[in-house]
Chains A and B, each alone.
Chain A
Amino acid sequence: MRPAQCGAIWLGLLLVCMSQAHAQTMEYGSLEQLFGEPVTMSATGEPQRASDAPANLTIITADEITKSGAETIPDVLRFVAGIDVRSYGVADSAVGIRGGTTALNPRVLVLLDGRQVLQDDYGLTVWQLIPVALQDIRQIEIIKGPNSALYGFDAVSGVINIITYDSLDDHVNAARVDAGSLNALGGEAVTSVKPTNAVGVRLSATGSRSDEYGTGGQTPVDQPRSGNLAVDLHAKLAPRLDLLLAASIGSIVSAYYTDLGYSIKAAFQANSLRGRLSSDSGIGLLYLDLYRNENRTAALTQGYEDSWRQDVTVLQVGDTLKLGGSQIVRVGLEYRNNTVSSGRSFDGRSGYDTFAASLVWSRQITPRLSLTQAVRVDHLDLSHQGAQFFIPGQDVGLFHDTEITAPSFNSGIVYKPTDRDTLRLLAARAVQLPSLLDFGYVRTATEFVIEGNPGLQPANVLNAEVDWDRSVPSLESSLRTAAFIAYSDRTIGSPFGSGVAVLPTGALLLAARNFGGSREIGGEFTLTGQDPKGLYWTAGYALALIHDETSGQVLADASSAAYENQTPTHSVTLSLGDSWGRFDVDLQARWQSQFLDYRLPPGAVSLQLVPVPNYVIVDLRLAYRLTHSLTLAVVGDQLDQANQIETAGVHTERRGFASASLRF
């Protein structure tokens, strides 16, 4: 059946079911107020209290985002135990979960309200290109560990789902302007209007610019700048049927550090369109979700200009229904068309169609014990349209069609032996797909040949985990402990980050390839608490012990495949704050152990490993609530060090900001 036919049938089913349906679908705000804790759909696709989710789920609330004083989402994430953030520039951050961090991080799936914002072309997330204002974020949901059975490829080391307020159910009008060192100037505004009781419209805009770290000329862009505009509409077509329409555009020009081992001047543009129908029907929570992301990437480095466009269209349909009093079943189908095209590289157009079917089944065995099983099968057809590519001196063409069928699963047992304790036993198999660039990028010059590899195999990841949550009333705190073991059977190396070979012609060959596997043992320990007067604290420790099976010699210039080198083994995070009347003081700190990053020295052909020593960063926010609506704040980033080596790229610098936030 063609996807369009499938979608039409599902739409018809939705409309038929309207007559039997009876209420709204997922209302985060009302459910959170009812249960007194955040709620989520990210773990299994079904509505759940965060404490019931069969996953290692961390939720960062809107209040925590405000208190962080962060200007960007990576700045919010870097103080979460188990998350590694590398700042390669003022607008370039790499975010990894539970190690395996690289300059790009294709293993972390990032979503905005369930829409993928991870770019499949290069397997990266351009964080400042996500069209969301920080003040419009209800919560950031972080799942540590694989979740392919729900999300498919790429949800390998974790998922970050940014949930915004609802344009119909929530009333958000907010604005913020900030200015600071490095000639930084930024702002955001979001407004929501309800023309009728059944229609809500939201507009949001963000923009920023700042001088880059370092002195002029150290990076290819002196002043990165970005801007985004988004609009969405939530209409209650009937008391039983909801329609969401959303559109966004955005762009950024920035230095961007890649697995090449240096920063390139990059210009990204992203447009998206989305429509989602959902219904609380007599046969469950039905949804039909259709979106399209268009990404334009231009590498503007002098002497190596490149550009391509990547378009992904995703159609998802599904139903979540409760059977009897104790079982919930979720069925889902997904079609994805993902292409990348360029006249300069890719020699035409490469892409794939993916068909996926998933099933989630959960059962509340007793009031204190639940079991969740999720399975998914993805089938991918990869093809290329355009000229065949030949490596000089070889007569076998590179491009060929490929099919990949990959099963994945997630299993979880949640047991609450007492009112204060929750145990989770989790197991998963996930699949990381090579990026489009890994599959089909090609480029030839006199001195070098760069080629993707349509024969690359996906990486299969197995993960087992034990979590223990315990509330400690005597400390007004809750404790979370997690221990996991993971194995990836073959690491995917990008064409730029897999090392260099020399062809018989003397030219250098940079080719994508699979490497050996990788093993990891790790865990997190987090103590979170708050006293009735407002003092709050979160202290965390994360361990990530990784062993790559490929020899260190081979990985010495394979930046995209060397997880052991690039992961700090230990990290400690601390968040602490209090309020006195109208004053807030919030402090965040992080220490992490040393790791190795990659750099291409000028004139060299091979990457060099660069030690990044252990370091501490301390951020401080002082805020004064001038009125109920207006808050003034000063924020100091990296107060403890004027300059800090965080990566092999430019050193980060101490910065200060002043901001005014309005919310009404």
Chain B
Amino acid sequence: MDPAVPDDRLTSQDLQIAGRLLHFIEQPPTGAVTLAIVYARDVPGSESEARDVASLLADGVAVGDLVLHAVLVEQHDLPLLGGYAALITTQGVSANVVRDAMQRRRVPCLTIHLSQVRDGGCLVGIRSLPTVSIHLNSSAADAVGIRFATAFRMMVQEQ
């Protein structure tokens, strides 16, 4: 693991995984894709984490046939936002707010905070180091009507 990057920060390798796993959802996005980076203003460190993610995506990041872009959004403004293909949540974001957005927009939520996946507040937890690990909360995915390819589901840790 790169000692310069705290393990509570999403890395560019994590972003590559995030982009590639979007291929395995039903009706995957293509071309230019916007990721909504969600933070909680009243949670210390949440906004700075979100800004770090946004900076990684500042010029757009190519992942396969996708080009990922970011839009920063405070969680309470999320219902007002549209046009994004996935959510990336930072620490302290409300599970209810994210679930509501996923259900309304039929988009997945991705995070490096595995506790959010365990709690059902986010669907997919990703880690690129020391090896790639992907955690999927399939109950939460079913609840918001987002389906992943069976082969993908068989290769990740489901709960």
Residues of A participating in the B interface, judged by any CB pair closer than 8 Å: 22-27, 30-31, 33-37, 39, 46-49, 51-52, 280, 284-285, 320-322, 324-326, 328, 364, 367, 419-420
5 A-B Cβ contacts within 8 A? A23-B26, A23-B149, A34-B134, A285-B150, A328-B154
Q: Is the CB of A47 within 8 A of B151?
A: yes
* Closest B residue by C-beta to A36: B132
Q: Is the CB of A33 within 8 A of B64?
A: yes
Cβ of B20 within 8 Å of any chain A Cβ, yes or no, is: yes
* Closest B residue by C-beta to A473: B130
Looking at the complex, which one of A22, A48, A364, A367 makes contact with B26 (CB distance below 8 Å)?
Answer: A22
Known: A328-B154, A364-B157, A420-B130. A22 touches B149 (CB 8 A): yes
Report the bound CA distance from A419 to B7 in whole Å.
15
Q: Is the CB of A320 within 8 A of B154?
A: yes
Q: Using Cβ atoms and an 8 Å threshold, which residues of chain B touch A31?
A: 151-152, 155
Q: Is the CB of A325 within 8 A of B158?
A: yes
Cβ of B21 within 8 Å of any chain A Cβ, yes or no, is: yes
Cβ of B17 within 8 Å of any chain A Cβ, yes or no, is: yes
Known: A31-B152, A35-B132, A36-B132. A326 touches B147 (CB 8 A): no
Report the bound CA distance from A22 to B26 in whole Å.
6
* Closest B residue by C-beta to A321: B150
Cβ proximity bits B49-63 to A, threshold 8 Å, 1 near / 0 not: 000000000000000
Q: Is the CB of A22 within 8 A of B147?
A: yes
Residues of B participating in the A interface, judged by any CB pair closer than 8 Å: 17, 20-21, 23-26, 64, 128, 130-132, 134, 138, 147-155, 157-159
Q: Is the CB of A51 within 8 A of B131?
A: yes
Minimum CB–CB distance for B21 against chain A, Å: 6
Known: A31-B155, A34-B20, A35-B155. A23 touches B130 (CB 8 A): no
- Tell me whether chain A's interface is mostly helix, strand or loop, or mixed: mixed
Q: Using Cβ atoms and an 8 Å threshold, which residues of chain B touch A367?
A: 157
Q: Is the CB of A325 within 8 A of B159?
A: yes
Given contacts A23-B152, A34-B132, A36-B131, list 19 more A-B pairs with CB under 8 A. Answer: A25-B149, A25-B150, A26-B151, A31-B152, A31-B155, A34-B21, A34-B152, A35-B155, A39-B155, A47-B155, A51-B131, A284-B150, A320-B150, A321-B150, A322-B150, A324-B158, A325-B138, A325-B157, A419-B131
Report the bound CA distance from A251 to B138 in whole Å.
51
Q: Is the CB of A23 within 8 A of B155?
A: no
Q: Is the CB of B151 within 8 A of A27?
A: yes
* Closest B residue by C-beta to A279: B150
Q: Is the CB of A34 within 8 A of B147?
A: no
Q: Using Cβ atoms and an 8 Å threshold, which residues of chain B touch A36?
A: 128, 131-132
Report the bound CA distance from A47 to B150 in whole Å.
9
Q: Is the CB of B20 within 8 A of A24?
A: no
Q: Is the CB of B154 within 8 A of A46?
A: yes
Report the bound CA distance from A470 to B147 in whole Å.
35
A-B contact count (CB 8 A): 77
* Closest A residue by C-beta to B26: A22
* Closest B residue by C-beta to A420: B130
Minimum CB–CB distance for B156 against chain A, Å: 9
Q: Using Cβ atoms and an 8 Å threshold, which residues of chain B touch A33?
A: 20, 64
Report the bound CA distance from A39 to B154 in whole Å.
12
Looking at the complex, which one of A23, A46, A322 makes contact with B147 (CB distance below 8 Å)?
Answer: A23
Minimum CB–CB distance for B150 against chain A, Å: 5
Q: Using Cβ atoms and an 8 Å threshold, which residues of chain B touch A52?
A: 155
Minimum CB–CB distance for A466 against chain B, Å: 22
Report the bound CA distance from A322 to B25 in whole Å.
17
Known: A34-B21, A325-B138. A23 touches B148 (CB 8 A): yes
* Closest A residue by C-beta to B63: A33
Report the bound CA distance from A284 to B149 in whole Å.
10
Q: Using Cβ atoms and an 8 Å threshold, which residues of chain B touch A284?
A: 150
Minimum CB–CB distance for A385 against chain B, Å: 44
Q: Using Cβ atoms and an 8 Å threshold, which residues of chain B touch A25?
A: 149-151
Q: Is the CB of B147 within 8 A of A49?
A: no
* Closest B residue by C-beta to A47: B151
| Most chain B CB neighbours (cut-off 10 Å) among A25, A280, A324 | A280
Minimum CB–CB distance for A7 against chain B, Å: 22
Known: A47-B155, A320-B154. A419 touches B149 (CB 8 A): no
Q: Using Cβ atoms and an 8 Å threshold, which residues of chain A touch B158?
A: 322, 324-326
Q: Is the CB of A23 within 8 A of B24?
A: yes
Minimum CB–CB distance for B146 against chain A, Å: 10
Closest 3 CB pairs of A and B: A325-B158, A23-B149, A47-B151
Report the bound CA distance from A24 to B27 in whole Å.
11
* Closest A residue by C-beta to B126: A34
Minimum CB–CB distance for B152 against chain A, Å: 7
Minimum CB–CB distance for B130 against chain A, Å: 5
Q: Using Cβ atoms and an 8 Å threshold, which residues of chain A touch B130?
A: 419-420
Q: Using Cβ atoms and an 8 Å threshold, which residues of chain B touch A48?
A: 154-155
Report the bound CA distance from A51 to B130 in whole Å.
13
Report the bound CA distance from A37 to B158 in whole Å.
20
Report the bound CA distance from A23 to B138 in whole Å.
16
Report the bound CA distance from A347 to B120 in whole Å.
69
Q: Is the CB of A24 within 8 A of B138?
A: no
Report the bound CA distance from A222 to B134 in whole Å.
57
Q: Using Cβ atoms and an 8 Å threshold, which residues of chain A touch B23?
A: 30, 34
Q: Using Cβ atoms and an 8 Å threshold, which residues of chain A touch B154?
A: 46-48, 320, 322, 328
Q: Using Cβ atoms and an 8 Å threshold, which residues of chain B touch A419?
A: 130-131
Q: Using Cβ atoms and an 8 Å threshold, which residues of chain A touch B64?
A: 30, 33
Minimum CB–CB distance for A159 against chain B, Å: 20
Q: Is the CB of A285 within 8 A of B131?
A: no
Report the bound CA distance from A22 to B20 in whole Å.
18
Known: A23-B150, A46-B154, A320-B154. A34 touches B26 (CB 8 A): no
Known: A35-B155, A326-B158. A280 touches B20 (CB 8 A): no
Minimum CB–CB distance for B140 against chain A, Å: 12
Report the bound CA distance from A320 to B149 in whole Å.
13
Q: Using Cβ atoms and an 8 Å threshold, which residues of chain B touch A324?
A: 158
Looking at the complex, which one of B17, B149, B159 makes contact with A24 (CB distance below 8 Å)?
Answer: B149
Q: Using Cβ atoms and an 8 Å threshold, which residues of chain B touch A24?
A: 149, 151
Minimum CB–CB distance for B62 against chain A, Å: 12
Report the bound CA distance from A454 to B68 in whole Å.
65
* Closest A residue by C-beta to B158: A325
Known: A22-B26, A35-B132. A49 touches B155 (CB 8 A): yes
Report the bound CA distance from A419 to B150 in whole Å.
26
Report the bound CA distance from A33 to B159 in whole Å.
23
Minimum CB–CB distance for A471 against chain B, Å: 8
Q: Using Cβ atoms and an 8 Å threshold, which residues of chain B touch A47?
A: 151, 154-155
Minimum CB–CB distance for B137 against chain A, Å: 9
Report the bound CA distance from A280 to B149 in whole Å.
7
Report the bound CA distance from A48 to B155 in whole Å.
6
Minimum CB–CB distance for A171 against chain B, Å: 12
Minimum CB–CB distance for A194 against chain B, Å: 14
